[in-house]
Structure 1
Amino acid sequence: MFTILISDIFQIVKMSESEGNKEKPELRPMFCEVGPVTRADGSCMLSSGDTTVLCAVYGPGEVKVNKEQIDKASVEVVYRSRVGNAGVVDRKLEIFIEKSCSSAILAMLHPRTAITVNLQELHDAGGLISGCVNCTCLALLDACVPMRFLVACVQLAVMQDGTVVLDPNTKQNSKAVASLLFTFESRSRAVISSHTEGKVSQLKMQECMSMAKGAADKVFQFYRSVIGRKFSKE
């Protein structure tokens, strides 16, 4: 079920999970506002539950000499947390987002240029990294950056009793023995990046990957709804 509000400058979409088996793991409700940053080439504000991220994309445009690449565009991700200065954790997050999204961008079509992605954390209630990757993908689409495929990131948590929680919040993450991130591409649903914290067995890893793949399908459906409504309005 989708709840959609469209105005002249932005569009808000809410995706609620289909009704059915209440015990089945589900993603938290997602809201998306496309184009909130008017001076950017593309922008998006994405909420997953209470976690909210704002992303602005600039480019392809002029690149600094020290970052220029003769055969492709330079992709740079800049992340800013809600409070405090940037640290090692923020840089680690930037690298994960950059690697996850760079593989999707057709950078060779715009050599000697730069594509800059600015991310601002507005509120973190769990699932911040997956929210940043998904928000970046929507902002790149809004900027009409050429892409090989779309990307969808899903986070899971393994609890002490072996239960797998899909799209966990902060409280669930604090009680988890392991946290896993999977980023899928939209063509063959292959994993293009992953990150694991904690110890998890190979069997449990496969279980988590299977669950994440099903959740990624719903994220891709959400993308189609958002972009379809945006261009139908335009």
Structure 2
Amino acid sequence: MESGVGSVLREYGSEQNLLSKPDGSASFIQGDTSVLAGVYGPAEVKVSKEIYDRATLEVVIQPKVGMASVRERAREQCVRETCEAALLSTLHPRSSFTLVLQEVHDDGSLLSCCLNAACMALMDAGLPMGRLFCGVTCAIDAESQIITDPTAQQEKESRALMTFAIDSKDCSVMMSLTKGSFSVKELQQCIAVSQKASERIFQFYRDSVQRRYSKIL
């Protein structure tokens, strides 16, 4: 699947309703990068965290090995902000949702894989959402080529790395996390490439949900 400037999207795979304990769950695979997501809630919220007019959302990212570090905390914030923008949380005031993302394998574009797993798990939980979202990662290599959905090796060799959360309604950018040096023009090019790639991911969502429900019916 080609996309953007000298780049291809890796193969995607996903499965919903994998886990029995969470209220919604999904796995998402991009190439050799894989994330498992579980959503719990709506549940009672601790009084200290209670928001009277909407639900609170907690996001936990568990690395493959060891304890969560500052890097996971930054990713958690990115995922939380994106989910909060998509969820109609006012429909569940004074309650809480918890989204747990387990890194199964990281071969690049991990944050975008987390975002995609999160969206599929929220859909599986049947939570009210105003829009869907997806994550797309872009790397700019030494030759100024844009690589979409880069591998870990391509990330390592890149001079800039950007991840965007894209909105399904009008393909606008809901969240961005950038690293490295790049020009305004390069940023705009990466956004355009990500918006184009998002169309395929949203189509993938539709196809996989359709497949799942055609099996049930």
TM-score surpassing 0.5?
Answer: yes
| Alignment counterpart, residue 226 of structure 1, candidates 174, 189, 208 | 208
Q: Does 1:99 align with 2:75?
A: no
| Alignment counterpart, residue 168 of structure 1, candidates 150, 172, 175 | 150
What amino acid is aligned across from residue 128 of structure 2 in structure 1?
P
CA–CA distance in structure 1, aligned partners of residues 114 and 133 of structure 2: 11
Q: Does 1:36 align with 2:18?
A: yes
Q: What is the CA deviation profile of residues 197-226 of structure 1, one whole-angstrom value per residue up to 9, with x for unaligned ones?
A: 011111111111111111011010011011
TM-score, length basis structure 1: 0.89
CA–CA distance in structure 2, aligned partners of residues 229 and 66 of structure 1: 42
| Alignment counterpart, residue 137 of structure 2, candidates 155, 158, 161 | 155
SS of corresponding position for 1:96 = helix
| Alignment counterpart, residue 8 of structure 2, candidates 12, 26, 42 | 26
SS of corresponding position for 1:148 = coil
Q: Which residue number in structure 1 is paired with residue 171 of structure 2?
A: 189
Q: Does 1:138 align with 2:120?
A: yes
CA–CA distance in structure 2, aligned partners of residues 162 and 55 of structure 1: 34
Q: CA RMSD in A?
A: 1.3
Percent of residue pairs identical? 38
What amino acid is aligned across from residue 185 of structure 1 in structure 2?
D
Structure 2, unpaired ranges of 5+: none
| Alignment counterpart, residue 92 of structure 2, candidates 85, 107, 110 | 110
TM-superposed deviation, 1:232: 2.1
TM-score, length basis structure 2: 0.96
> Is the 8 Å Cα contact of residues 42 and 139 (structure 1) preserved in structure 2?
yes
Q: Which residue number in structure 2 is paired with residue 51 of structure 1?
A: 33
Q: Does 1:70 align with 2:52?
A: yes
TM-superposed deviation, 1:24: 5.3
Higher relative contact order (CA 8 A, sep 6+): 2
SS of corresponding position for 1:218 = helix
SS of corresponding position for 1:172 = helix
Q: Which residue number in structure 1 is paired with residue 199 of structure 2?
A: 217
| Alignment counterpart, residue 203 of structure 1, candidates 168, 185, 189 | 185
Structure 1, unpaired ranges of 5+: 1-16
What amino acid is aligned across from residue 166 of structure 2 in structure 1?
F
TM-superposed deviation, 1:25: 2.3
TM-superposed deviation, 1:162: 0.6
> Is the 8 Å Cα contact of residues 26 and 215 (structure 1) preserved in structure 2?
no
What amino acid is aligned across from residue 66 of structure 1 in structure 2?
S
What amino acid is aligned across from residue 212 of structure 2 in structure 1?
K
CA–CA distance in structure 1, aligned partners of residues 188 and 202 of structure 2: 21
CA–CA distance in structure 2, aligned partners of residues 182 and 127 of structure 1: 11
